[in-house]
Structure 1
Amino acid sequence: MIALAASLDINGDIVELGAGWGTLAFPLAKGFPHIRVTAVEISPVPFLFLQLRALVQKRANLEIVRRDILSVSLARAGLVTCYLYPDAMKKLKPKFENELQPGTVVVSNTFAVPGWEPSRVGELEDLYRTRIYEYRFSPPS
């Protein structure tokens, strides 16, 4: 997903919904030092790990927040990344449609946004041939 992000023209902040252990957030912050990266995680253990990791791997442009993914504003996002589960993607769809700016890129690992047509579907070279869905948001007509 880092290679995919590197190929994008990102106009706005990067928001990772469900940041987990920071496997994506930290490399994104390093790779895009001029862009604000927000890692959103609600689970206490991964959140604590993210906080500790941030003490060791300092990134001035990385903000770690402990919030529900549905409560975080996406209005300034140029790129939204997520690796969640089908029900979460279903719940995020109306949030995306209400908050994202036209042209915002949404990249989802494994799970598609229901009812949206991806602009690109990639496949990782891993054991599971994991699908990566890329969307360029345009408001529903």
Structure 2
Amino acid sequence: MPHETLNRRAAASLLLLPLVGRAPSAVAQEGRPRLDVPYVPTVMPVVEKMLEMAKVRQGDVLYDLGCGDGRIVVTAAKKYGASGVGIDIDPQRIQEARENAEREGVASRVQFRQANLFESDFSKASVVTLYLLPDINQKLRPQLWRQLKVGTRVVSHDFDMGDAWPPERTERVGNKTVYAWTIKPEHKKAAA
């Protein structure tokens, strides 16, 4: 009997694994959009490295795709004098981002939009930052090539763009990786 109980518990545990292993944001809650990427904030040393690798400076317009609580946009505005736009589909993250910008005194230089990345225009960006997932990065790649001007810098936390667009530079920050690219004329031709 104890062996049979153990087997039933093991079977029940196996049935629950797909639910337990799924990020809470992967299942849409009533009134909230379904998220393709779970919210995991970028730690500040990685934020700093991303902005350094993107060579952010005053006059830049930084777009953070999947901006979460806005920390990358806010830091770019506060530390480098850039302006910025954060885009995220989650209204809770957008509210947090706006509050963070207000608290840090940069609300006049940044804005946050609740929107679907694949339906968004980020053609005004001189810098784009990402912390998404590999399949989302690869799906976004043609849109980045089409929309962004030659010379725009793109930086991603932890995930690259696949074999079709190898990074120009890769740096480690602890156990994290940051990738950097620049939009070139050949990307514009490939996207046309």
Please give the secondary structure, in 1, of the residue aligned with 2:126: strand
| Number of the residue aligned with 1:136 | 182
Q: 1:6 Cα shift?
A: 3.7
- Give the alignment partner of residue 58 of structure 1, picking from 75, 98, 105: 105
C-alpha separation between the residues in 2 aligned to 1:22 and 1:136? 23
Identify which of structures 1 and 2 has the higher relative contact order when contacts are C-alpha pairs closer than 8 Å and 6+ apart: 1
Name which one, 1 or 2, has greater alpha-carbon Rg: 2
Distance 1:9 1:64, change over 3 A: closer
Counterpart of 1:5? 51
Aligned counterpart for 2:90 among listed residues 17, 38, 43: 43
**Matched letter for residue 21 of structure 1:** D
Shift of 1:26: 1.2
CA contact (8 A) 2:74 2:100 kept: no
- 2:124 maps to which residue? 76
Instruction: In structure 1, give the amino acid aligned to 2:127.
Output: L
Runs (4+) of structure 1 exceeding 3 A deviation are 9-12
Decide whether the 8 Å contact of 1:12 with 1:76 is kept in 2.
no
Q: Which structure dedicates a bigger proportion of its chain to strand?
A: 1
Q: 5+ residue gaps in structure 1?
A: none
Over the aligned positions, Cα root-mean-square deviation in angstroms equals: 1.9
Letter in 1 for 2:141: K
Conserved? CA contact 1:123–1:132, under 8 Å: yes
Structure 2: gaps (5+ residues): 1-46
Q: Which residue of 1 aligns with 2:171?
A: 122
| TM, length-normalised to structure 1 | 0.86
* Match among 85, 89, 104 for residue 133 of structure 2: 85
- Amino acid corresponding to residue 116 of structure 1 in structure 2: W
Matched positions, count: 137
Question: How far apart in 2 are the matches of 1:2 and 1:63?
Answer: 20
Q: Deviations over 1:84-104 (max 9, x none)?
A: 111210211110111111111
Establish whether residue 99 from structure 1 lines up as the match of residue 147 from structure 2.
Answer: yes
Residue of structure 1 in register with 2:71 after alignment: 23
Contact 2:50–2:157 (Cα < 8 Å) also in 1: no
Identity %: 22
- Answer whether contact 1:79 1:105 (CA < 8 A) is retained: yes
